[in-house]
Amino acid sequence: MTVATRLRKTSKTWSMFGDVKKKPSPYEVVTGKFHYHFRRDPVPFEMDPDVPLNRWYLKNREGSPFQVDDWEQFRDPHKLTYKEYISLQKSHETYVDGLIDQFEDSNAAEKLDEGWVATLAGLYVPLRFPLHILQMTGLYVAQMAPSSYITNCSNFQAADELRRIQRVAYWTKVLANAHGDHLAQTGSARDPWENDAVWQPLRKVLEEMLIAYDWGEAFTALNLAVKPALDALLNWQFAALAASNNDRLLSQMFTEFQHDSERSQDWTQALTKYALERDPDLSKVLKGWLDVWEPKAHAAVVGLAPLFETAPVPMAAGDVVSEVGRRYTELRSGCGV
C-alpha cells in the first residue's frame, strides 16, 4: 500500500457535511454536526453500553417518540452563533442599563404607590423562583437535543432566563432600598412561592416539568406550553399592569424581555414545523403531550391572575387569562399544532 504524499489542494467545507451544493454559512460551519454521540453505533458514549448515561440518552433522546430521520437540516431562524448572541444581548443589556439609569435618576422606585408595592411583593418579587426553573429546563433540553443546531438555541434561551432573573433581582433590591429591606430577603420570595395558594399551580407544573425527561416532551412542555404562557403573562400582561400603575420601568423592562421570548417562539415554531414537515404523524405525539401540559400551564395562569386584581389600578383576572390564552393560541397555531 502506498500512502500518497500530496494532499488534495482545497477543501471547501467540513467533510462531515457531505456533498453540499451551497457553501455553508459561517453560522453552519460552527453549529452543524457537533453531537458525535447522537445515534452513534453502538451507544452514544465511549463507555460500557449499560452505564446510566448511555441508557438515559438511548431512552430519552434516541428513544423519544419525537423523532425524524435527520435533525441536522434544522436552522435557528436567527442563525445565532455564540459571538452573535453575545453581541446582540450586549446591545439589549446596554438598553436596559440605560432604562435603569433613567429611572434611578428620577428616584422612580421611591415614588411608587404603596399599594402597587404590595402588589409587586406578591406578584413580582417571587418571580425569580419560577423563572429559574425555566432556565434549568432550557439547559435540560439543550443537553438532550439530537442536534447542536437545537442545543444552541436552547442554551441561549436558558441564558436569557438568567438575564431576566438578574434584572428582576436588581430591581427587587432597589424596591427594598425604597420600601423596606424585607423585600430583598429570600423568604419574601420563597415563602409565597412555596406556600401561597396562587403560586401553587405554577409551582406544580414547573416541578413536574423538571422530571419530564423525554427530550421531546421536555421541549414541548417548556417551549410549547409553560414558557409561552408565562411569558405572555409577564411580558405582556404584567407589563401592561405596571404601565397602568405608573411603573414605567417595569413595564418597559418586561416589554424588552419580550424580544428574548420572541426569539424562543421563533425557533420553537421553526423546529415544530421542521419535524411535522418530515413526519406529519408527529402532530399526534405533540398533541398528546400538549393535552397534558397545556391545561397545567393554563391552571398556572388562572392561579396567578387574581394577583392582577390587587393592584391599585387592577386588571380583571378573567381578562388576564383570556389575553394570555389568545397569545398562546397564536403561538400554537404558528407551530402547526
Partner 1 sequence: MPRLARSEWYDLTRDMNWTLAYVTEEQAWPKDLSNGYGVSTEQWWTWDEPYKITYPEYVHNQAGKDASVYAINAVVNRSKLFEQLDPGWKSAIVAHYGAIAVPEYVAGIGEARMGRFGRAAAWRNMATYGTLDETRHGQIQSYFPYTLLDKEPRMDWAHKAFHTNEWGAIAARSLFDDMFTANDAVSTAIQLTFTFETGFTNLQFLGMAADAMGVGDLEFSALISSIQTDEARHAQQGEPTMKILVENGKADVAQKLIDHMFWRSWKVFSLLTGLSMDYYTPLEHRRHSFREFMDELINKQFLDQFRDLGLEKPWYWDDQYQAEQNWLHHAYHLGVWFWRPTVWWNPDAGVSPQERDWLEEKYPGWNDSFGKYWDVITKNVRADATENTLPETLPIVCNMCHIPVCTPAGYNAGFLNSPDPHILDYKGRRYTFCSEPCQWIFEQNPARFQGHESLVDRFLGGQIKPSLHPDFEGGTITTTHLAGVLDYMSVSMEEAGQDATDYAWAFEERDAAGIEAS
Task: Please give the angle made by the CA atoms of 213, 231 and 174, to the nearest 5 degrees.
Answer: 115
Nearest to 235 by CA among 208, 263, 256: 256
Nearest to 129 by CA among 157, 164, 85: 164
Between residues 66 and 129, which has the closer beta carbon with respect to partner 1? 129
**Kind plus residue range of the DSSP H or E element containing 288:** helix 282-304
Query: Cα(133)–Cα(326) distance, rounded to whole angstroms?
Result: 24
Query: Cα(178)–Cα(112) distance, rounded to whole angstroms?
Result: 9
Between residues 84 and 319, which has the closer beta carbon with respect to partner 1? 84
Query: Cα(45)–Cα(165) distance, rounded to whole angstroms?
Result: 34
Q: What single letter denotes the amino acid at residue 116?
A: W
Q: In whole angstroms, how close is the CB of 247 to partner 1 at the nearest point?
A: 17
- Provide the grid cell at 18: 457531505
Between residues 164 and 327, which has the closer beta carbon with respect to partner 1? 164
DSSP state of 164: H
- C-alpha to C-alpha distances, 113 to 109, 123, 166, 262, nearest whole angstrom: 9, 15, 24, 31
Query: Cα(29)–Cα(105) distance, rounded to whole angstroms?
Result: 45
Between residues 2 and 19, which has the closer beta carbon with respect to partner 1? 2
Half-sphere exposure of 212 (CA within 13 A, CB side): 27
Q: In whole angstroms, how close is the CB of 328 to partner 1 at the nearest point?
A: 22
Between residues 97 and 330, which has the closer beta carbon with respect to partner 1? 97
Q: In whole angstroms, how close is the CB of 96 to partner 1 at the nearest point?
A: 8
Half-sphere exposure of 327 (CA within 13 A, CB side): 24
Q: What single letter denotes the amino acid at residue 210?
A: L
Helical pair 186-195 and 128-144, crossing angle rounded to 10 deg: 70
Between residues 168 and 240, which has the closer beta carbon with respect to partner 1? 168
Q: Within 30-127, where are the H helices?
A: 52-57, 82-105, 114-123
Between residues 52 and 281, which has the closer beta carbon with respect to partner 1? 52
Between residues 141 and 335, which has the closer beta carbon with respect to partner 1? 141
Between residues 170 and 279, which has the closer beta carbon with respect to partner 1? 170
Q: In whole angstroms, how close is the CB of 279 to partner 1 at the nearest point?
A: 25
Q: In whole angstroms, how close is the CB of 238 to partner 1 at the nearest point?
A: 18
Task: Please give the angle made by the CA atoms of 59, 62 and 66, to the nearest 5 degrees.
Answer: 100
The CB density around residue 262, as the number of other CB atoms within 10 Å, is 12
